């Protein structure tokens, strides 16, 4: 079964149609880029898959189960757009907190944290408070907490937002690392460059509609 198979997804906020009947196919083990301008509906789509938002109409599956199935949600990781973790927590505490939310026993959570910190290059900063971090460092902790339950699919909503060019390259490498580990990465971005550098498959979302989708080479070839 594919990682995500959206047959039909519609979402209205009041009378405003944020998603106007979207279909998407995300193969397992790939990086899938959902590209589109701000307001296109990218966050709404991801939030619908994660049941943070209640879709108006939804047919499809995720990891072989109906979208929204509890069992499936435990196999996903999520870095929301503009994620804000409390400034007074340390990087280590943020990841431990996410582990707790994911239902991971404290001892096991603690065991996983060093490798995650290493993975995102934050080993040396683990016990400093988020208030002392740059935006890029916060995003790295955001990535680490999204991986704490060893998810099959990781949803990253504009992960490089506000991050400097060097940090963007680092985040790209981490996304590639997630794919190497066999995870599916669902990447929301409004930056063509960012998506084409890392994604295998791309869908372009404009005003709640997918206007194009396919392998990244196919889309960039057409310019």
Q: Which is nearer to ligand ADP, 34 or 122 (CB)?
A: 34
Rounded to whole angstroms, the Cα distance separating 211 from 18 reads 14
Task: Using the minimum distance from each CB to ligand ADP, give the nearer residue, 42 or 92.
Answer: 42
If one counts every other C-beta atom within 10 angstroms of the C-beta of residue 132, the result is: 10
Nearest distance from C-beta of residue 10 to ligand ADP, angstroms: 13
Question: Which residues contact ligand ADP by CB under 6 A?
Answer: 13, 16, 18, 36, 38-44, 81-82
Place of tokens 């979302």: 205
Strand partners, 20: 10
Task: Compute the distance between CA of residue 30 and CA of residue 62 in angstroms, rounded to an integer.
Answer: 14
Q: Which is nearer to ligand ADP, 67 or 126 (CB)?
A: 67
Q: How far is the CB of 206 from ligand ADP (least distance, A)?
A: 9
Cβ distance to ligand ADP smaller for residue 133 or 155: 155
Least distance (Å) from ligand ADP to the CB of residue 120?
Answer: 22
CB of 111 to ligand ADP, least distance (A): 32
Shortest distance, position 78 Cβ to ligand ADP, whole Å: 13
Q: Using DSSP, state whether 193 is helix, strand or coil.
A: helix
Contact of 9 with 48, CB cutoff 8 Å = yes
What's the min distance (Å) between Cβ of 155 and ligand ADP?
12
Residue nearer to ligand ADP on the CB measure, 39 or 100: 39
Q: Which helix (H) or strand (E) holds 4?
A: strand 4-13
Contacts of 163 by beta carbon, 8 Å cutoff, 6+ apart: 135, 136, 139, 171
Query: Distance (Å, rounded) from C-alpha 88 to C-alpha 128?
Result: 9
In this complex, which beta carbon is closest to ligand ADP, that of residue 18 or of residue 143? 18
Buried b (16+ CB within 10 A) or exposed e, 108-118: ebeebbeebbe
């Amino acid at each position: 079964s594919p990682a995500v198979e959206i047959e039909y997804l519609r979402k209205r906020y009041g009378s405003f149609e944020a998603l106007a009947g979207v279909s998407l196919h995300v193969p397992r083990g790939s990086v899938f880029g959902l590209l589109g301008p701000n307001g296109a509906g990218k966050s709404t789509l991801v939030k619908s898959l994660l049941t943070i938002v209640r879709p108006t109409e939804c047919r499809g599956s995720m990891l072989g189960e109906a979208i929204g199935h509890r069992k499936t949600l435990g196999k996903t990781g999520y870095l929301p757009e503009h994620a804000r973790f409390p400034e007074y927590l340390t990087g280590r505490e943020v990841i431990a907190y996410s582990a707790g939310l994911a239902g991971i026993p404290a001892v096991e959570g603690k065991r996983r944290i060093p490798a995650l910190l290493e993975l995102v290059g934050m080993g040396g900063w683990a016990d400093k408070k988020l208030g002392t971090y740059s935006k890029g460092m916060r995003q790295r902790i955001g990535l680490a907490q999204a991986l704490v339950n060893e998810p099959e699919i990781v949803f990253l909503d504009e992960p490089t937002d506000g991050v400097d060019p060097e940090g963007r390259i680092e985040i790209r490498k981490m996304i590639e690392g997630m794919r190497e580990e066999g995870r599916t990465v669902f990447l929301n971005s409004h930056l063509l460059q960012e998506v084409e550098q890392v994604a295998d498959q791309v869908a372009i979302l404009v005003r709640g509609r997918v206007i194009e989708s396919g392998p990244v080479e196919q889309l960039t070839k057409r310019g």
